[in-house]
Structure 1
Amino acid sequence: MAAATEAVRSYYSVTDKLLSDPQASVDDAASVASGEELDLLRRQVQEQRVKGLHQTGSVVLSDLTATGADLQDPPTVTLDACVDVSALDVVDSTGASALAPDRSTTSIVHLTVVAAGDGRWTVQQTSAQGEPCAG
């Protein structure tokens, strides 16, 4: 479970880097994401860059909890996390925010993490539940 938890932390760290640094290689996404999630992450990064937008600030994770595991091949772990984006913004070249001012800043996200076969774990799917974190 520790490897799956670390994979989620790495996923958000790399995602923050890709969305905040237009020079970061989109190929870095493959180190933390796979399958459907890799495709979505690459598309999100490319669309944001085409629009001339970049992220400031970082995602803060809390309450990262394993909710299930399937040790069949490939091993898969599901986790829930509270994702806090209150310190994050997406801005254009003038610094104007592209985000809605009334956006929700916390959300429970369900994540599926899979063993990549080479000792790495990658995030294969994320699903924001649209519900704010408790507290």
Structure 2
Amino acid sequence: MIKKISFISATIIQVLFVISAFALQFLSKKKMGVMRHFVYYNKKIETIYNMPFLINAVSFIVLIIIILTAIVFFYFLKSKIYNNKYMMFLNISLFVLGILFIIFLRMFSRESLLAYYYMALIFFIVYIAELIKTSFYYLFIKKSKKY
């Protein structure tokens, strides 16, 4: 019961994060103060960090996670022991979120979206939360199948 409540609450928090990312982008188009804030912090972030390298590194890490997710998905698909529909759903969602995140990183830029760095950070947090959620569920399945 606690597992189910924690997974549902984590999913709700992820959805709220995604909604907040789109709200930030909406506000950056409508409110001048928010627009100025993003312009200032985008310049500040770019002077402190090498953002193209960080974007490429995050894309590479997410790509590795996608490949591992595909391998785990096919392992679960072949395995009769671990054939669990919720685990399949978590693997598919992890795969799809990773593909969408890489598409977002490659398709958009700071010039097209003022809240690009904030949105990328929020989407990365959502993706890592999904990875943690999938990993915990895998550990719960593995632990319950041993006994």
Normalised to the residue count of structure 1, the TM-score between the two structures is: 0.29
Query: Higher helix fraction: Structure 1 or Structure 2?
Result: 2
The structure, 1 or 2, with the larger RCO (C-alpha pairs under 8 Å, 6+ apart) is 2
Query: Higher strand fraction: Structure 1 or Structure 2?
Result: 1
